[in-house]
Amino acid sequence: MNLIIDVGNTRIKIAVFKKGKLIHSESITKENIVIKVVELINKFECRNAIISSVGNIKKTQISKLHAIINLIELTSETKIPFINKYSTPKTLGMDRVALVSAAVKLYSNKNVLVIDAGTCITYDYINMNSCYFGGAISPGIQMRYKSLNKFTKNLPLLEPKYTNQLIGQSTDSCIHLGVVKGTINEIDSFINQYRKKNKDLTVVLTGGDTKLLANRLKNSIFANPIFLLEGLNAILTYNL
């Protein structure tokens, strides 16, 4: 059994994989990470683990995890199952490394564009030869709503909502249109540009806003909310 720990910007996801299949996952707080890991080790008899962090986690917590399980900390030095052609590999987020690893594992010998709609929206391109070249980063949906509220005097902070209008007729509807529909148009535009250069392109959408976006894109995509966890499991397995 493999134990997967993904420390994100806003939450921690912890999961258990058995022979490549997800059998358990949940979100936890940073404060109870060690307690939860011990609980899952005992429940599922996990022997190996990997932790990826784009958020802050205490070194003392990492040390405690090393003491109770064979733990791999995902860094730029970790062995990965793809050829990394990113010009600044040490600055590449570990979440993006995991997503690319999932693409190589699940869609081998294919050109793949992975779109992660989370705190930020990331675009990552991997070709059929398992070569990773990079992509793009833009603000996520929540970040767009919050920035409109923070950097203006009168615009309210709203919860994400899709509207099919073309013309907003209130401040709220204008914001929803600009943020949500603007994000959808951005994603479709990126996909279209990639497909012009790659006729045979597989597109995967993942991240916290997958449900809001997936059925509203004009392009055909594979929606997979656990893609990052699958990528971390692929890296762990690759290093055992």
Cα(222)–Cα(240) distance, integer angstroms: 29
Question: Is 94 one of the annotated binding-site residues?
Answer: yes
Cα(170)–Cα(162) distance, integer angstroms: 14
Structure tokens at 195: 């497909």
CB atoms within 10 A of CB 10: 11
Farthest-apart Cα atoms in the chain, separation: 59
pLDDT of residue 31: 81
Question: What CATH number has the domain spanning 83-232?
Answer: 3.30.420.40
Give 16-59 pLDDT, tens digit per residue. 999 999 999 999 988 889 999 999 999 999 999 999 987 678 88
Give 165-176 pLDDT, tens digit per residue. 999 999 999 999
CA dihedral 240, 109, 225, 61 (to 10 degrees): 30
pLDDT of residue 41: 95
| Residue with tokens 């894109």, as numbered in its chain | 217
- Catalytic residue (choose from 95, 172, 200, 209): 95
* Range(s) of the chain covered by CATH 3.30.420.40: 2-73, 83-232
Question: Is 6 one of the annotated binding-site residues?
Answer: yes
Question: Is 12 one of the annotated binding-site residues?
Answer: yes
pLDDT of residue 78: 96
Beta bridge partners of 203: 113
95 labelled catalytic: yes
Reported CATH class of domain 2-73: alpha beta
pLDDT of residue 232: 98
- Residue ranges in the chain whose pLDDT is less than 50: none
Question: Is 150 one of the annotated binding-site residues?
Answer: no
Cα(160)–Cα(100) distance, integer angstroms: 28
Distances in Å between the alpha carbon of 182 and those of 140, 144, 145, 164, 213?
Answer: 11, 10, 12, 12, 11
- CB burial of 124-137 (b: ≥16 within 10 Å; e: otherwise) equals bbbbeebebeebee
pLDDT of residue 179: 98
Question: Is 96 one of the annotated binding-site residues?
Answer: yes
- Percentage of the chain with pLDDT > 90? 90
pTM over 0.85? The answer is: yes
Structure tokens at 42: 């005992």
